[in-house]
Chains A and B, each alone.
Chain A
Amino acid sequence: MKGSDFLQSSHRLRKSGLNPGGSYWFWYLLPALFIYTVFMAYPMLDSVRLSLYAGTTGARDYVGLANYTRLFTDPVVSARFWGAFKNTWVFFAYHMLVQNVLGMLFAVILTNRTMRGRQFYQTIIFIPTTIAVMVSGYLFRLLLNPQFAGPSLRSMGLGALVRPWLGQEGTALHVVSLVSVWQWVGIPTMMFVAGLQGVSEDLLEAADIEGCNSWQTFIYIKLPLIMPVVGMIAILTFVSNFNAFDIVYSMTGPNGPPKYATDLIGSLFYRYGVAGEHPIGIPEPGVGAAISTTVFAILLVGVLPTLKATQGKE
């Protein structure tokens, strides 16, 4: 409907003279198009080309797929890559299963019209989302350090809680993931709230009259209707998790300690492409570009089918 209004109005405008051909409008969008192309679109595409080269700007050689071969099969490099790859999936699983499920649960509660204090809870849930990951990550790094509250907790009989949570290979990644969930759960919550508010009241009333309980109403009415929002959140989660870096950098460090247990694709990319991987310490832009191109491919493979499955034609 919006579209036909628009066509009609642009038709009228054309007659009145505000709407001549493109060359006239082109000047209005040229500055934006220029900056977007030069500093985003082109560098993204050209990173793919860079993954086929070795060396830096001055002395760069075409090496074909050598960077990829190194990334996937070299005993040291591939161990790092597959390790970070696996960790990123664990990290992603936490966000899908804990963050997004909690977000959905919170949203159902926050859209219940007879519930009091919704605005208050909503405001609190969203607070961590406005704090920089660098800040909240560092905060939890200190709070979880046994030096911080170890003696106090022991004297309270809670000595079992005093563990080097971020120093043990078995717990570090899980703790990092949960802190990230703490930080970001506000986003899916608010998006689901917006989606659920769009569900027609008549429909819910009809379900109530038919005797649906709240679980049935959720599964058979609300959930199918907000599928596009679910898909959008899945995509957002996927894209941001495969680029996550700040949380590792602030909570454990760019090397993903202990023993690479918290190394994510994002931190691996930072070390190989930008900072230099231990022990050589010289960045390899080609390998970095190969990592980012791989992420690019993973995102495309994950995002496009999700888009297709959940974003119905309008």
Chain B
Amino acid sequence: MNTNRSHKAKSLRIARLHIPSHVLMILWSLVVLIPVYLLISNALKTKMDMYNSPFGPPIPLTFDNFQSVMASGNFFNYFANSLFVVGLSLFMILLLGSLTGYALAHWAGKLSRGIYFFFMIGMMLPIKIATIRLMELMKALGLFNQLWSIILIYIAMGLPIAVFILTEFIRGLPADLYEAAYIDGARRGKIYYSIVLPLIKPALATVAIYNLVPIWNDLWFPLIFITQEEKKTVLLAVTRLQGQYTTDWPKVFALLTLSALPVVLLYLGMSKQFVAGLTAGAVKG
């Protein structure tokens, strides 16, 4: 009996090492990291070094590819455009989404529920379906080739999830907070600004991250609505690669690295918030 127990304990110890699980995790980590390594290491090589040793480390190291990509054309302009679009879209999604959440959380009634449901439908349907009509709408409004066209689309696209998350969150706040402030003479605008907004910061962060990645990484709408060179976003610069550096792959790798870097670094810096934000749609509270 004693030996049986120690035998059992030993097998439990071995089971707790989770060897097959680690093997699988390490294999998949390699599948993820090898392409990323090839991307960065080859961006740091000369053309000759890349062809001679595509898998080797970047020795000697060269930053020429990055330099020439950044020096060429409108590189910083592309970045500024992407930042402007992402920044303004997120700000408007958070502002309009929180105002709507504030209203829907407090306004009880058929119409309120109807409006909530109307927003929720937008979570299930992809806005790409509307592209043909949006093209005509933007042309009619004179917004074709304006960054405003894609900003308005991104705001509309981001609102359903924002309304969903923020309404639920504001509903969960203790009502005493409002009541005390109301008795003290604060009105709904003041309560929104000085009580609700500070309290919903975590939910605002979730909404921001949920929308940040798809907006920064969106190709479809800039590709269709922005043809003018000075209005282009970072990903549109990537679409021009084929013509631009066909024979100079290390430069292509450098540009790909630069366009992926901002979001990847942001993610590595705050991975917990990213995972919570990007998977927010599925876990309904």
Contacts and interface: CB of A to CB of B under 8 A. Distances in A.
Interface of A: 2, 6-10, 12-13, 16-19, 21-22, 24-26, 28-29, 31-33, 35-36, 38-44, 46-47, 50, 56-57, 102, 105-106, 109, 112, 114-117, 121-136, 138-140, 142-143, 148-149, 151-152, 182, 187, 190-191, 194-195, 229, 232-233, 235-236, 239-240, 243, 245-246, 249-250, 266, 269, 273-274, 285, 288-289, 292-293, 295-296, 299, 303
Contact of A29 (B31, B103, B132): B103
Nearest to B258: A135
A125 B32 contact: yes
Interface stretch (B62-70, B72-80, B175-183, B200-208): B175-183
Sort A-B residue pairs by CB-CB distance and give the 3 closest, nearest first: A9-B175, A43-B130, A132-B217
B217 A134 contact: yes
B238 interface: yes
Interface residues of B, number: 104
Contacts of B156: 35-36, 38-40
Contacts of B36: 127
Given A18-B106, A39-B153, A239 B126 contact: yes
Interface of B: 16, 18, 21-22, 24-25, 28-29, 31-33, 35-36, 38-39, 51, 53-55, 96-97, 99-100, 102-109, 111-112, 115, 118-119, 121-122, 124-137, 139-140, 152-153, 155-157, 159-160, 163, 171-172, 174-175, 178-179, 182-183, 188, 191-192, 213, 216-217, 219-220, 223-224, 235, 238-239, 241, 249, 252-253, 256, 259-260, 263-264, 266-268, 271, 274-275, 278-279, 281-283, 285
Contact of B283 (A2, A114, A191): A191
A190 B209 CA distance: 15
B206 to A, nearest CB: 13
A236 B214 CA distance: 14
Contacts of B238: 132, 134-135, 138, 250
Contacts of B172: 2
Given A124-B33, A138-B241, 4 more contacts: A2-B172, A22-B111, A40-B159, A129-B213
A46 B136 CA distance: 11
B132 A50 contact: yes
A40 B124 contact: no
Contacts of A142: 249, 252-253
Contact of B103 (A16, A28, A126): A28
Contacts of A43: 130, 133-134, 137
A253 B137 CA distance: 28
A109 B159 contact: no
A134 B278 contact: no
Contact of A236 (B163, B192, B253, B281): B281
Given A22-B112, A123-B271, A285-B132, A132 B119 contact: no
A191 B140 CA distance: 41
Contacts of B126: 239-240, 243, 299
Contacts of A9: 174-175
